[in-house]
Copies of this chain bind each other. A is one copy, B any other.
């Protein structure tokens, strides 16, 4: 198999790990010189490909590539730019394939959210359609850990560390005050349909009795009586009760606990 080049681009709002993913792509590509030649990064995401503004990462040292793991922001620049449907924006896809051909690019790593992964899929279709097959790989940047097929989202680890650290910090403050003040602390955690991030709060506890004392996952229907009994037990036994609750927890009626019942007033149609 002939050696082909690769294109890597960052897309959408940046996250704490998008550059670590870049590092993973670049380091791994370097381990496979029999398949992948140079890796070009797009300056400001996919716009870098459309404008042929490519950053040749092969000139960067191993140290510089390794440093990406701890680099904030988006090292190569990101963008908010949606390619749209092939049907309506065919010229843009053709332009992409043209640039890929000009630089002998047969691998496309697109690091972004759902739209970006969709774009990667379309580029793949387009390439196949015009007889220039491109292996398109979407790299998620989300903290959500419930992506299909994906074992562990790159973004989940930092979210897990952050939330567990926050729980521990809050628990220390609570412990300092619980004799004369607050004994129960509730932390609402992101994750409307999956309890991964809430479950990660458990990393804060190393010993029996340490916070969090209660985790409420969206996968488990809220049981008020059982919950209150647990709160009572924890405050009596440990002098405090730290609760991590997913924003998506539902009651027996199937309604979100977080639903306030308030609605935006209907617009007046006059």
Q: How large is the interface on A (under 10, 10 to 19, 20 to 34, 35 or more residues)?
A: 20 to 34
Task: Judge whether A177 and B72 touch: CB under 8 Å.
Answer: no
**CA of A33 to CA of B244 in the docked complex: distance in angstroms?**
47
How many copies of this chain does the complex contain? 2
Task: Judge whether B173 and A80 touch: CB under 8 Å.
Answer: no
- Distance of A221 from chain B, by nearest CB (Å): 34
Chain A 70-90, CB within 8 Å of chain B: the 1/0 string? 001110011111000000000
- Distance of A8 from chain B, by nearest CB (Å): 15
**CA of A175 to CA of B75 in the docked complex: distance in angstroms?**
10
**CA of A175 to CA of B10 in the docked complex: distance in angstroms?**
13
Task: Judge whether B79 and A179 touch: CB under 8 Å.
Answer: yes
Task: Judge whether B179 and A73 touch: CB under 8 Å.
Answer: no
**CA of A188 to CA of B72 in the docked complex: distance in angstroms?**
22
Interface residue A233 (Cβ < 8 Å from any Cβ of B)? no
Q: A79-B181, A180-B80 are in contact. Are A173 and B13 (CB under 8 A)?
A: yes
Task: Judge whether B10 and A44 touch: CB under 8 Å.
Answer: no
- Distance of A242 from chain B, by nearest CB (Å): 13
Interface residue A128 (Cβ < 8 Å from any Cβ of B)? no
Q: In residues 33-88 of chain A, which contact B (Cβ within 8 Å)?
A: 44-45, 47, 72-74, 77-81
Whose C-beta in chain B lies nearest to the C-beta of A45? B180
A81 to chain B: which residues have CB within 8 Å?
180
Chain A 165-203, CB within 8 Å of chain B: the 1/0 string? 000010011011101110000000000000000000000
A172 to chain B: which residues have CB within 8 Å?
14, 72-73
Q: A72-B169, A169-B72 are in contact. Are A77 and B176 (CB under 8 A)?
A: yes
Shortest Cβ-Cβ A-B pairs, 7 listed: A73-B172, A74-B176, A79-B180, A80-B181, A44-B179, A73-B176, A72-B172
Which A positions have Cβ atoms within 8 angstroms of B? 10, 13-14, 44-45, 47, 72-74, 77-81, 169, 172-173, 175-177, 179-181
